[in-house]
Amino acid sequence: MLSTTATALNSKTKAFVLQFRDVGITDIPLVGGKNASLGEMLQQLTPKGISVPDGFATTAHAYRYFVEIAGLEAKLRRLFADLDVEDVLSLRQVGKQARSLILQTPFPDELQEAIVTGYQMLCDRYGPDTDVAVRSSATAEDLPDASFAGQQETYLNVHGVQGVLDACHKCFASIFTDRAISYRQIKGFDHFNVALSVGVQKMVRSDLASSGVMFSIDTETGFKDAALITAAYGLGENVVQGAVNPDEYLVFKPTLKQGFQPILEKRLGTKEIKMVYDLGGSKFTKNVSVPPEQRHQFALSDAEILTLARWACEIEDHYSNVRGIYTPMDIEWAKDGVTNELFIVQARPETVQSQKVQNILRSYELQQKSNILVKGRAVGEMIGQGKARVILDVHKIDQFQAGEVLVTNRTDPDWEPIMKRASAIVTNQGGRTCHAAIIAREMGIPAIVGCGNATTVLQTGQEVTVSCAEGEEGRVYSGLLPFEVKEVALENLPYTRTNILMNVGNPEEAFSLSAIPNDGVGLARMEFIIANQIQAHPLALLHFDQLEDELARYKIAELTAQYEDKAQFFVDKLAQGIGTIAAAFYPKPVIVRLSDFKSNEYANLLGGRQFEPEEENPMIGWRGASRYYDDRYRDGFALECRAMKRVRDEMGLTNVILMVPFCRTPEEGEAVLAEMAKHGLVRGENDLQVYVMCELPSNVTLADEFSEVFDGFSIGSNDLTQLTLGLDRDSSLVARLFDERNKAVKRMIANAIATAKQHNRKIGICGQAPSDYPEFARFLVEQGIDSISLNPDSVLKTLLVIAAVEAG
């Protein structure tokens, strides 16, 4: 006699229809991954507050019974006998014939009756002629890298018994869509071993609200601590199919679980159309235009974003526990415009990033050489190529095309919008620490600086290869030369007592950079975020109504269209940018340097000229600490403080350490700390540490006094070298004299490290030297430095040097 469990299992496998609440994740062979997952969530996650619309599923047995009773398999096998999926015409013809065969074959009475009974149960719960979504769900076992997502059809706003029967029939036929046939063939699945289940689920009235897709992992980088949510108005098919450009939201999962509100990014989509019910029309749904005022609003509130992100965490944790392996999830959600409730309507394991190999190091090598056109200092150990684009005036950067090689005299923050689109950068002026070099490193593109004659030798449209993979000298070669990119697995890397940190400025790269072995971030620069994401001078935002520059006023109005309070735009964007970097490396320390634009760079921001003085030498003028407590800028600094307070207090990213640049005296340091405290950033409260840049001779000679004011030091070897040797590091005339290895500079650094150690203060370095010179890294380790912050492309090679030094 069969046991009760065996009897229940047998009745399940022979049923034509199963209610969602009666199936779980182990029932994929019966009802497919999509429907099994809905049942799993209804059973296990609705008690945790996650809302899932109810429904039922036809079973694999029902599909196979239909095929068998009608004698369809033999006919279908004959159709597929000579199929070549590479032949598009043949694929199209076979698919059409297979679908017609199924659609022309009526359902057996017993199957039809089971579907009708299932639908009537839904109507009993939700009302007569309940509107439902009818979705296909392929059934096959062991699908770690094959989701079958989107291969079969979905029908929305289906209502009435006949409508549901017709939609189920079409779903059965859609097992033989052209794309499904091709997908199975490529993945190695037998067409006749895969069955089809149909899920019939109560519709969520998102046609009156919004819907979208979310992942419990960052889809671009595979960073597993972020949830990515997309949202658009109307039914979710437009988002799933890519027919609309949705809003995007990024939420940090670890501190979200601790009760914080870590929305790292909110990116507005165009959301030009929405899918709605076709009431009284000939179709179930239709697309309509979204009113302009709605397009310029986010489709979700912050509270809704956080709720969805929490649900993504719950779903991911549940499936990871069930499967016994970390399982990032791909989830569809919808908001009901009648009740304003949020619902999860699908969830499946993510199948792209979770399959990728992690910990790979890339190196570049030229396979062939040609005529060298120009030479200069190499930045980054990569190779880039493309057509040259010579631009001498920043006002003509709109001529630049993505993938070109930017050739210019020199760059400043105004050039950054096109720099990130360049395949490489070549400049006449500058040394290894000029703006072009710093930004190129952060963006992971090769640059050659200080060439002297690049803009006269190179011509717009000329094909060139830019090689920075041949040592300190960078070379621009004629033509598009072949090169090889080698990948090395990062295994068995040595441990170092010296902490290896990274310099990171671009939030968009933070998640991918965090995969490089590291102990945190030694320098996160605000300037990149201000120049690229904010673009406007903080005082121009605070005093928007008094702006004299009409063009700047117009551009700021465009940028801040969603903000009545223009200054809040600055706070939001800066908090999101820094928050993203802090989240990428959490819980490791992230040292954030407060803004360090020079007055001429601030003036180049939108509306900036009205608020900035003209200085003969901005490099050693009104910059860094001296601005923060000055009546002419303190209101602008207050916005930075508000943003950093949000990162630490609201997002929960207390791994952020703040750092004051260009602080000339200990008294000035105390004035800055007092200014920060006015805005809730009190050193010592909520574990807040504040460091100071050690980049002036006064920082070294008075290191003992600075130790009383700050928690630690970070040596800025670029400025320290400049001011110790008395030269302008941006001047190509004296660039050859700029060398951190100079005895005077090394003695300064040695003294700073010794004094910091005597006063029990942390001291690291975030300058360029250890990235470029292995012998300089060796010198720092021998002095007992606590940490070395490197450009991402230098981390691994320098780590090996440091490990060797420490090993003796």
pLDDT in tens, 261-295: 999 999 888 888 899 998 876 678 899 999 999 99
From 123-127, 544-548, 660-664, 731-735, the region with the lowest mean pLDDT: 731-735
From 413-427, 513-527, 537-551, 768-782, the region with the lowest mean pLDDT: 413-427
Position 349, amino acid: P
Written as six digits, the tokens of 543 are 């005093």
Query: pLDDT-derived band of residue 558, with 50, 70 and 90 as boundaries?
Result: very high
Q: State the pLDDT at residue 281.
A: 67
Q: State the pLDDT at residue 354.
A: 62
Question: 645 and 659 in contact (C-beta within 8 Å)?
Answer: no
Written as six digits, the tokens of 308 are 């969805």
Question: 23 and 57 in contact (C-beta within 8 Å)?
Answer: yes
Residue 109 above 80 pLDDT?
yes
Query: pLDDT-derived band of residue 552, with 50, 70 and 90 as boundaries?
Result: very high
Overall average pLDDT of the 129-143 stretch: 78
> The tokens 């950054």 sit on which residue?
416
CA distance 34 to 149: 9
Query: pLDDT-derived band of residue 359, with 50, 70 and 90 as boundaries?
Result: low
What's the burial of 729, exposed, middle or buried (CB within 10 Å: 0-12/13-18/19+)? buried
CA distance 437 to 448: 8
pLDDT in tens, 669-723: 999 999 999 999 999 999 999 999 999 999 999 999 999 999 999 999 989 999 9
Query: pLDDT-derived band of residue 447, with 50, 70 and 90 as boundaries?
Result: very high
Any alpha helices (H) in 302-343, and if so which ranges? 302-323
Overall average pLDDT of the 538-561 stretch: 96
CA distance 651 to 576: 9
DSSP characters over 25-70: GGGHHHHHHHHHHHHHHHHHTGGGT-----EEEE-HHHHHHHHHHT
pLDDT in tens, 462-483: 999 999 888 678 999 999 999 9
Q: Which of 236, 224, 471, 494 is nearest to 344 (CA)?
A: 236
Q: Which of 438, 452, 460 is nearest to 391 (CA)?
A: 460
Q: State the pLDDT at residue 146.
A: 46
Point out which residues pair with 660 in neighbouring strands.
692
Top pLDDT among 736 and 600 is at 600
Percent over 90 (pLDDT), the chain = 65
Query: pLDDT-derived band of residue 5, with 50, 70 and 90 as boundaries?
Result: very low
pLDDT in tens, 197-252: 999 999 999 999 999 989 899 876 778 999 999 899 999 887 776 667 789 899 99
Q: Which of 244, 276, 262 is nearest to 313 (CA)?
A: 262
Q: State the pLDDT at residue 140.
A: 61
Residue 308 has φ and ψ, to the nearest 5°, of -60, -40
pLDDT in tens, 521-533: 999 999 999 998 9
Percent over 70 (pLDDT), the chain = 92
Q: Which three-class secondary structure state does DSSP give residue 650?
A: helix
Question: 214 and 158 in contact (C-beta within 8 Å)?
Answer: no
Q: State the pLDDT at residue 7.
A: 47
Q: State the pLDDT at residue 361.
A: 61
- Helices 88-103 & 161-173, crossing angle to 10 degrees? 140
Written as six digits, the tokens of 365 are 């090598």
Q: State the pLDDT at residue 4.
A: 42
From 152-161, 255-264, 650-659, the region with the lowest mean pLDDT: 152-161
Whether the bond into 349 is cis, omega within 30 of 0: no
Q: State the pLDDT at residue 362.
A: 67
Q: State the pLDDT at residue 86.
A: 64
Secondary structure element (H or E) that encloses residue 264, with its range: strand 263-267
Residue 145 above 60 pLDDT?
no
Query: pLDDT-derived band of residue 186, with 50, 70 and 90 as boundaries?
Result: low
Active site positions, annotated = 435, 766
Query: pLDDT-derived band of residue 398, with 50, 70 and 90 as boundaries?
Result: confident
Overall average pLDDT of the 132-146 stretch: 68
Q: State the pLDDT at residue 413.
A: 58
Query: pLDDT-derived band of residue 176, with 50, 70 and 90 as boundaries?
Result: confident
CA distance 13 to 35: 15
Overall average pLDDT of the 326-341 stretch: 94
Overall average pLDDT of the 717-745 stretch: 88
| Average pLDDT for the chain | 89
Q: State the pLDDT at residue 671.
A: 98
Point out which residues pair with 195 in neighbouring strands.
139
Secondary structure element (H or E) that encloses residue 657, with its range: strand 656-660
Residue 8 above 50 pLDDT?
no
Please compute, for residue 484, the number of CA atoms within 13 A of its CA located in the half-sphere on the CB side.
Answer: 6
From 20-34, 58-72, 299-313, 349-363, the region with the lowest mean pLDDT: 349-363
Overall average pLDDT of the 366-395 stretch: 91
Written as six digits, the tokens of 337 are 């415009």
